[in-house]
Amino acid sequence: MKRTACVRAWIVAALLLPLPLLAQEDTGSDSVDTGLDNIWFPGEFAVAPLLAFPLEIRPSAALLWVERDIDDSIDGWNLEARVGIGFRLPVVRFQDEGPSRPAIDLGFDVGVWSRFFMETLEKEQIDTDWKIAVPLGLRYRIWDFRVTLQHVSSHFGDDYLDDNPQEVFQSSREGFELLLGVRPGFDARFYVGGDLNLGRSEDFIGGEEPGDPVFVFTTVEKWAFRFGAEWDQTRWGSKRIAPFAAANFEINEFTDRIATLLKAGASFRVKSIRLYLDLEYHSGPSSMGQFRTVDETWVGLNFMGEL
């Protein structure tokens, strides 16, 4: 990742997190009229995280049987492991949902996803994606809305590049993620959303000898569009153990092919903790940042949690 881009992301996050101080609760008789509750560290976000979006932050682990369509890389179907480490912190609930007002909150997210090739002794790291984000969420009746300021960067693993030499380009971006969801009942949610990348990394080709032309180009797409659906009886229903299913479909500026991710399995609710065990299927451009224009198919067993 470019160091300056990472620093910018942390600075923006630091500037946004103190914003709740501008809306301190008035403890006088007029406090009810303001609708500002200012509940610090409420423990749960107003907008529930997506179940099948690959860069939704949560701890997870998966074994995948993968085929990747790329030259100078691992051939055929192979066993890989994916590990996700993430932490979501709801910082402040500006107000709880009421008959005529939405729930509004602000938080902080950080997550890391790594993929490993499991058929060698070294278990070489293929790719790692990093995400730092500040989500602002709003929930009102059946509607969910979330806008997230985020920095995302992706990196090849050194061992993978040693065994599979190929061109390496910068892959980092800053911008906004948008989400609009509706919960019409029957323990389900439908959503649309996407990314708008305002800060995109650049790279170049050429210029090895004096006078050689240098071609500078952006290596990250301007936009991505996604939509999906999910059914979870332990989140929107009353059950503690139940089946669940989710689907996410995504396309970006750099490809005309849709990435499809399908999940189905069992969910478990233990107080405020949710655990998911599922089978998943993916087809289309990879969810890994360094491979996002490369077609990839996999089936796998995945375990994930929400704290």
Higher pLDDT: 204 or 20? It is 204
pLDDT for the residue 213: 63
Q: Say which amino acid occupies 70.
A: I
Domain-embedded: residue 178: yes
Domains in the chain, number: 1
Mean pLDDT throughout 170-191?
Answer: 95
Domain-embedded: residue 52: no
Mean pLDDT throughout 42-51?
Answer: 94
Mean pLDDT lowest among 153-167, 186-200, 208-222, 232-246: 208-222
pLDDT tops 50 at residue 50: yes
Domain-embedded: residue 86: yes
Highest-pLDDT range among 60-64, 71-75, 171-175, 272-276? 60-64
Domain-embedded: residue 173: yes
The fraction of the chain above a pLDDT of 70, given in percent, is: 82
Mean pLDDT lowest among 23-32, 198-207, 271-280, 291-300: 23-32
Q: What is the pLDDT of residues 222-252, one digit of tens each?
A: 999 999 999 999 998 889 999 999 999 999 9
Q: In whole angstroms, what separates CA 277 from the centre of its chain?
A: 19
Domain-embedded: residue 42: no
Print the domain residue range for 235.
3-17+61-306
Domain-embedded: residue 111: yes
Please give the full DSSP string across 242-303, using - where no structure is assigned.
Answer: EEEEEEEEEEETT-SSPEEEEEEEEEEEETTEEEEEEEEEEEEE-SSGGGTTSEEEEEEEEE
**Can you list the positions of beta strands (E) in 12-102?**
39-40, 60-68, 77-95
Percent helix / strand / coil, the chain, rounded to 5: 10, 55, 35
Quote the mean pLDDT of the chain: 85
Domain-embedded: residue 48: no
Helices (H) and strands (E) in the chain, counts: 3, 15
User: For residue 59, what pLDDT band results from cuts at 50, 70 and 90?
Assistant: very high
pLDDT for the residue 11: 46
Mean pLDDT throughout 82-103?
Answer: 94
Mean pLDDT lowest among 13-22, 85-94, 285-294: 13-22
CATH number of the CATH domain containing 170: 2.40.230.10
Q: What is the pLDDT of residues 115-160, one digit of tens each?
A: 999 987 778 899 999 999 999 999 999 999 999 999 999 998 888 8
The fraction of the chain above a pLDDT of 90, given in percent, is: 62
Higher pLDDT: 213 or 170? It is 170
Domain-embedded: residue 55: no
pLDDT for the residue 232: 96
pLDDT tops 90 at residue 4: no
